[in-house]
Amino acid sequence: MSDAYAGTLIPHLCCRDAANAVEFYQKAFGAEPIGVFRMPDGAVFHAAMKVRESTFYIAPECPIPGGDSPLKLGGSPVTLHLQVPDCDAVFDRAIAAGCQSVMPLQEMFWGDRYGMVVDPFGHRWSVATTVRKVSQEELQQAAAAMAPA
């Protein structure tokens, strides 16, 4: 790994059919391949992808610890978040590419327009655009209103 990434947190996404995942993330989120490393049979061994200024890796599902995909596990507790200038365009693009909406875009109390999708590989993505600034006091009031009685 290059020193350019030193100190950077980079998620690895284990995907069943990593080669299709590389193509899918390009179509769904405009990801750009930085490097795709293939086995002699053409299967993807490792891929580095970039969305805006963020990098993520794709690895094939494999029998090593941590090598299970969300499809094998029945889901993932992790959400990948994209903060973008136009969440409606990104959300619509993701749906058109094959993601499923699990939370439609809506205005949220913290000031973002926010929604969530799950991709065909079982990874959950949230997409948001800040539409208004919210004070700390407003956030506290909203949290208090949402707290169970």
Q: What is the pLDDT of residue 4?
A: 60
Identify the structural domains of the chain with CATH numbers, from first to last: 3-146 (3.10.180.10)
State the pLDDT at residue 3: 58
Cβ-Cβ contacts under 8 Å for 39 (sequence gap 6 or more): 45
pLDDT at 87: 96
**Structure token pair of residue 51:** 């969305």
pLDDT for 1: 43
Specify the pLDDT at position 18: 94
Over the chain (149 residues), the average pLDDT of each successive run of 10 is 61 92 96 93 92 92 84 89 95 97 95 96 95 90 79
Phi then psi for residue 85, to 5 deg, are -70, -30
The CA distances from residue 63 to 41, 52, 67, 75, 143, in Å, are 19, 31, 6, 17, 42
